[in-house]
Amino acid sequence: MKNNLNVAEQLKLKYHKTNEVTNFKDMLYNSAENFKSRTAFKLKDENGKIVSITYEEFKNDVVYLGTDLIKRGFLNKKIAVIGKNSYKWCVSYLAASIVGIVVPIDKELHSDDVINFMNVSETACILGDSKNLSSVIDDIDKLDYKETVFISFDRIDISKKNDSNIFNKADLKISDNILYFDNIKIIGKDSYINGFYDFDNIKIDPDELRILLFTSGTTGNAKGVCLSQRNICSNILSTYGIVKVKRSDLFFSVLPLHHTYECTLGFLLPIYSGASIAHCEGLRYIAKNMAEFHPSVILCVPLLLEKLHKNIVRNMNKSLPEKYRKENQDENPFDNLPLIMKKIVKTKVKNTLGGRLRVFIVGAASANPSILSDFRKLKLNTLQGYGLTECSPLVAGNTDFFQKDDSAGLPIPNVEYKIDSPNKDGIGEIIVKGPNVMLGYYNNPEATANSIKDGWFYTGDLGKIDENGYLYITGRCKSVIVTKNGKNIYSEEVEYYLNDNPLISEALVQGIQDDDNDETYVKAQIYPNLEAISEYLKSSVPTKQEIKKIISDVVSNVNSKLPNYKHIKGFIIRDKEFEKTTTQKVKRYGENMKYEKKGED
């Protein structure tokens, strides 16, 4: 009977056993009880010494912070979290999502976008790094809710503010609303020890909105994804069912925690499993931190994997006996090595990665199958998957049991996918059903109705499924640009800023692949407003050079409002309008999408 089953059906017979959990509070309390004295986090103190935080200490910190948030009136309120990956970020995320609705925000966003998210979500409190909070405080006049409480992970240096009146804007002494994480945790601890147990008594409805994430950063175009704790807990259990997490594992957290991929799989999954977490201090410290923390699991994007692979291959070609080296330093010599030398190389590579590394989990963009295969030959299991924020995030993945390096993997437990209206090659839009699918888009019933139909979420991604159930991503039918680093850039987001300038009539933003390095860059086609430019220059007919200079200045100004990875890297100026649909929307197909590089600036 088993021989008649395809691979996806065989996988269902092999799932790792899981213990049911539907909300973060139960998960936290269960882990604190089951793994009490085990290490939950490894971090560095102010002297650079590595210290351990136990599961019991972690739970207590969440309870103490949450206790004070309740006493300050934030029960069931929106609470934002922003900043680099850190222990305090993790404590804040769980406390906020249990006390109220957590709103994780990208630390790289311009303050205008951060404030927009806070306004749209009606955030009452924000916790984060002083750098991010300061930029919001500087523009406090743009914040709708002037009594927002700022809880800083570190000290905000008031003396360095350019505006000496910054803390007395809008008839409010802002300094009264700036608190410090360490202080309120101590206050919360005191309240709890003295009998204030409201945090312990919170009852969480696992199916209500508790996590609000914004997938687009444009003022007036913010798209909030509403997730429940059951959504994310189901994804944790599904992932554990196909990729075993050991209690001895240490997850090395490199990707930003505001992203559901890292938050669900790199933070909440290990906490559920009794494993440990260490945060990377920054991309330049990856090698150093790996040697210090000795990780066994890393979540990464293809770009990071490619860089590691390139370094490993080059080091092999430098250190191997000359007869085994490849002339091209980037060509892998491993396959031609004798068995004994392969064993030596495997050990050396593992040692350079901290000595304990056993698995890479790769997501956010498609990885090169040959690189995945090369890592597996080095006894480093490398598992590629596919997911979206709206799916909490994982939909498909390669597993402990079955791997196919050129695919996104098989459906995770309790999740279905299929292809809507496939063409003759079997390619169509990927649609998904399961407990991981979001509740909907925040205050946007029209967008929700367009995306979720009869319980199926329409991903906007194109793909096909083979006879064994493996999913292959073939393209996108929505306007999201995905870089090799796994960053999502929504075209409308960048277009908003371009079109907001009166010197531009219309703009269309695309992801254009560079032939030299295979990276995808943001490029724009721009149709200038000649009348406005003439008026601006006080001349009747502007020259091509004048138009180019003005548009270049507009693009530079737009880039200053966006994080680096969203910067427009090139543009061309059109001499005619874009083709439009009957509803006067610019078509994202056909002639409009032909980007002529020869006319680029």
For residue 520, what is the domain's CATH number?
3.30.300.30
Distance between alpha carbon 333 and the CA centroid of its chain, in Å? Answer: 34
Confidence of residue 217 (pLDDT cuts 50, 70, 90): very low
Is residue 310 within 8 Å of residue 330, measured between CB atoms? yes
Q: What is the distance between the alpha carbons of residues 282 and 106, in angstroms, rounded to a whole number?
A: 15
Domain contains 371: no
Instruction: Name the helix (H) or strand (E) containing 531.
Output: helix 530-537
- Number of CB atoms found within 10 A of residue 55's CB: 23
Evaluate if residue 167 carries a pLDDT over 70: no
The residue out of 138, 173, 203 marking a domain boundary is 203
Per-residue pLDDT at 166: 46
Domain contains 571: yes
Q: Which among 400, 397, 434 is positioned nearest to 414, based on CA atoms? A: 434
Domain contains 374: no
Domain contains 110: yes
Most confident of 153-157, 249-253, 318-322: 249-253
Is residue 28 within 8 Å of residue 59, measured between CB atoms? yes
Question: Six-digit token pair at 10?
Answer: 């065989």
Kindly report the backbone phi and psi dihedral angles of residue 194, in degrees, each rounded to the nearest multiple of 5, phi listed first: -90, 15
The better pLDDT of the pair 580, 508 is held by: 508
CA-based radius of gyration for the chain: 25
Residue 306 exposure: Cα atoms within 13 Å on the Cβ side = 15
Per-residue pLDDT at 2: 59
Cβ burial of 120 (10 Å; 0-12, 13-18, 19+) is buried
Instruction: Name the helix (H) or strand (E) containing 251.
Output: strand 250-253
Is residue 365 within 8 Å of residue 255, measured between CB atoms? no
Domain contains 136: yes
As a whole number, mean pLDDT of residues 158-167 equals 48
Confidence of residue 432 (pLDDT cuts 50, 70, 90): very high
- Number of CB atoms found within 10 A of residue 341's CB: 15
- Angle at Cα 87 formed by Cα 85 and Cα 92, nearest 5°? 90
Length of the chain, in residues: 601
Question: Six-digit token pair at 539?
Answer: 């001349």
Domain contains 324: no
9-18, 146-155, 361-370, 525-534: the lowest-pLDDT one:
361-370
Domain contains 582: yes
Per-residue pLDDT at 391: 97
Peptide bond between residue 393 and the one before it cis (omega within 30 degrees of 0): yes
Is residue 118 within 8 Å of residue 126, measured between CB atoms? yes
Question: Six-digit token pair at 274?
Answer: 């009794």
Domain that holds residue 587: 480-599
- Number of CB atoms found within 10 A of residue 131's CB: 15
Peptide bond between residue 295 and the one before it cis (omega within 30 degrees of 0): no
Domain contains 517: yes
Tell me the three state secondary structure of residue 180.
Answer: strand
Is residue 143 within 8 Å of residue 76, measured between CB atoms? no
Evaluate if residue 294 carries a pLDDT over 60: yes
What CATH code is carried by the domain that includes residue 145? Answer: 3.40.50.12780
DSSP 366: P
Confidence of residue 158 (pLDDT cuts 50, 70, 90): low
Is residue 15 within 8 Å of residue 414, measured between CB atoms? no
Evaluate if residue 219 carries a pLDDT over 50: no
The residue out of 141, 175, 203 marking a domain boundary is 203
| Beta carbons within 8 Å of 594's beta carbon, 6+ residues apart | none
Beta strands in 424-479 (DSSP E): 428-433, 440-441, 452-453, 456-465, 471-476
Question: Six-digit token pair at 415?
Answer: 């999740």
Q: How many domains does the chain have?
A: 2
Question: Which three-class secondary structure string do you get for 109-143?
Answer: CCHHHHHHHHHHHCEEEEEECHHHHHHHHHCHHHC
Confidence of residue 597 (pLDDT cuts 50, 70, 90): confident
Q: Which among 106, 180, 184, 103 is positioned nearest to 145, based on CA atoms? A: 103
| Beta carbons within 8 Å of 384's beta carbon, 6+ residues apart | 362, 363, 366, 367, 372, 397, 398, 405, 407, 408, 409
The residue out of 203, 226, 252 marking a domain boundary is 203
Inter-axis angle of helices 24-34 and 229-242, to 10 degrees?
50
Evaluate if residue 180 carries a pLDDT over 90: yes
As a whole number, mean pLDDT of residues 342-370 equals 89
Q: Classify 282 in phi/psi space as left (phi over 0), alpha (psi -120 to 50) or beta.
A: left
Q: Which among 69, 119, 415 is positioned nearest to 239, based on CA atoms? A: 415
Task: Tell me the percentage of the chain whose pLDDT exceeds 90.
Answer: 66
Confidence of residue 174 (pLDDT cuts 50, 70, 90): low
As a whole number, mean pLDDT of residues 245-264 equals 96
